[in-house]
Amino acid sequence: MDRKLEKTDEAKRENRLERMRELTATLSKAARVYYQESGEIMSNLEYDRLYDELLALEKETGVVLSGSPTQKVGYEVLSDLPKEAHPTAMLSLDKTKEVAALEEWLGDQAGLLSWKLDGLTIVLTYEGGSLTKAVTRGNGEIGEVITNNARVFENVPLKIGFQGTLTLRGEAVIRYSDFENMNREIDEAQEKYKNPRNLCAGSVRQLNNEITAKRHVNFMAFALVQADGVDFENSRTRQFQWLESLGFGVVEHRHVARENVAETVAYFAEAVKEYDIPSDGLVLTFEDIAYGESLGRTAKFPRNSIAFKWEDEIRETTLSYIEWSPSRTGLINPVAVFEPVELEGTTVSRASVHNISIMEALELGAGDAITVYKANMIIPQIADNLTRSGVKDIPKICPVCGGDTQIRQVNDVKVLFCVNPQCQAKKIKSFTLFVSRDALNIDGLSEATLEKFIAAGFIKEFADIFHLDEHKEAIISMEGFGQRSYEKLIQAIEDRRHTNLIRVVYGLGVAGIGLANARMLCRHFKYDFDAMREADSETLTEVDGIGQVLADAWREYFADPENQKMVDRLLEQLTLEPVEEEEETGEFAGMTFVVTGSVNHFKNRKELQALIESKGGKATGSVTGKTTYLINNDVTSASSKNKKARELGIPILSEEDFLKLLEGEYHAH
């Protein structure tokens, strides 16, 4: 009997160890994707649940497996930045989701409760009043030296009034408002950043700090490590006050005793809804420095602080369907659409699932009973799937273009791609150009709005913009839209049915055909569009500013029968009005200019071109035998336009030369 019990216990132990091996592998993979590849294969809630399960098994068995994530801190160092070992290990914090546990932990001591910021931890060192070193947390033992990058953070003082050695720790963060602004400006080749933390991590670890400087990184101090010769009277509060007096941003903190921990947590829980800096919880630290340090540390955690993670408000609902949303990179993102529920004071009905790997982990299928929450009380996420009917109906064709899709493995994550290079979702920039100020000039159709409409299948070609009224109910129900904004948009579109041919030609986005070239084409062909699109190469190169390359691009565009049909359908929606041509008079009448390179005396090249045209001249994009002057501040460069101008004997003017020409004082060298 005893032997049977021993065998049973041994089997249970082996099962527990096997489960620990599974959890270690799963969590390590998720951490690698999150920290090193800025990706995501499971929700934070799921990660925490599995982590806590592993921790409990380690306590139960007394075994900690090699590579266990409970023994690791932060990401592994992979970049080419210099590495440096920390004088003392930078530990993570033990955590709880229960206010009662915070109260018990604090006991009869005084404490400071502050934000737990969600960015990248940095250690700054000052010597003789100057910033001498900045190192990331790295894996807790070894970090990356990012001193040059820290110098361009928005709020890090480069010099301070204190002359001794100062070492402090803080969080590099990017505000939500700055993050959203940068995402709006992202170019076509890139995918939008997933969250401020990923953007911050990439920004802080740049090899070129010019990039860091554009990313609006801030530093918020949360701990003072060393300040030679300064007496803080054993008070964390005095440390924070002193750092603030030196010019450092300090994490917001509040004094607490056991009696008011709960109400202070409630204050932060309300404040986080409007807080502009990403936060994933709170940190409670003993006010008494000596007492906190006397408690020592465990293998992973210091005992003078504890983290509080938000107790997520979780609601049960039903998954209606998975919406597949194509992006400009070809990636098709799954979005869970579910029966609306109230979460943290707002109605929620959608949550990004990010990729197929997460769908498979959750075994998501339409009709499943799911639980949802808001990560950090802000971003809707799926917590669990109670039904787990399984993943099905991954689309074999793109919902935008109808082209084939393909499942790919990217950095250990399964994702869905549209493989059609002509997919409209990949051509968002062409639609953005078409509605821009110099083209059709349609107010209300921002790039973000166009992306929504294209992903929903409302817009497949330019003419579809003039049929958006067919999707009235769907548009009104979209986030950010309502009856009034819909009506304004439709009116703006109707107003732009009356336009001119120059705007249309420019708006088509033919490679290399800018606004000036569009104007020259229209003038040369006397606004006869059929003659223009049927012209041969020889005829096209007779147009000022149109060389062989642009002529070939124009002919290639209209050699495609689909483009011809698309343009015809567009023209059916428009009324082309005549363009009032001003008689060519002024100082530059009969002259043709090409402007290239950067400008110093004007806001941009367009402003300079507008001045030329106001003086009766023509501004074109290509150097030809008809060009009078090439304007390039780098007069001696070996650029293709400079080379062409020299071959044709065309003078190359700097801006200063041009201004002299304008005043009648320029003399050819």
- CA distance to 93, 107, 255, per residue, from 258 (Å): 20, 6, 10
Query: DSSP string spanning 610-645?
Result: HHHHHTT-EEESS--TT--EEE-S-TT---HHHHHH
- In angstroms, the CA 447 to CA 513 distance is 21
Contact criterion met (CB below 8 Å) for 401 and 422: yes
* Helix H or strand E segment including 225: strand 218-227
**b/e per residue 360-394 (b: at least 16 CB within 10 A):** ebbebbeebebbbbbbbbbebbbbbbeeeeebeee
CA atoms within 13 A on the CB side of 456: 19
CA dihedral 127, 133, 136, 137 (to 10 degrees): -40
Tokens 């939500």 correspond to: 176
State the Cα–Cα distance between residues 27 and 69, nearest whole angstrom.
Answer: 7
Catalytic residue among 29, 59, 95, 116: 116
Nearest to 172 by CA among 215, 121, 132, 128: 121
| C-alpha triplet 308, 311, 316: angle, nearest 5° | 160
Residue 64 to residue 52: CA distance in whole angstroms: 14
Q: Which of 29, 48, 52 is nearest to 39 (CA)?
A: 29
Task: Report the side by side order of strands in the sheet with 618-620.
Answer: 618-620, 592-595, 629-631, 652-653
Gyration radius (Cα) of the chain, Å: 31
Give yes or no for a contact between 297 and 91, defined as CB atoms under 8 angstroms apart.
Answer: yes
Q: Which of 339, 336, 260, 253 is nearest to 99 (CA)?
A: 260
Closest CA to 124 of 253, 223, 211: 223
Element (H, E) at 127: strand 120-127
Taking each continuous run of H as one helix and of E as one strand, the counts in the chain are 24, 24
Nearest CA to 217 among 258, 156, 267?
156
Q: Which residues lie closer than 8 Å to 638 by C-beta, 6 or more apart?
A: none
Could you confirm whether 116 is annotated as catalytic? Answer: yes
Report the DSSP beta bridge partners of residue 145: 135
Measure CA 58 to chain center. 38
Strand ranges inside 294-392, DSSP E? 305-308, 315-326, 331-343, 346-352, 369-375, 379-385
Quote the CA–CA distance of 77 and 554 in Å, as a whole number. Answer: 49
Active site residues: 116
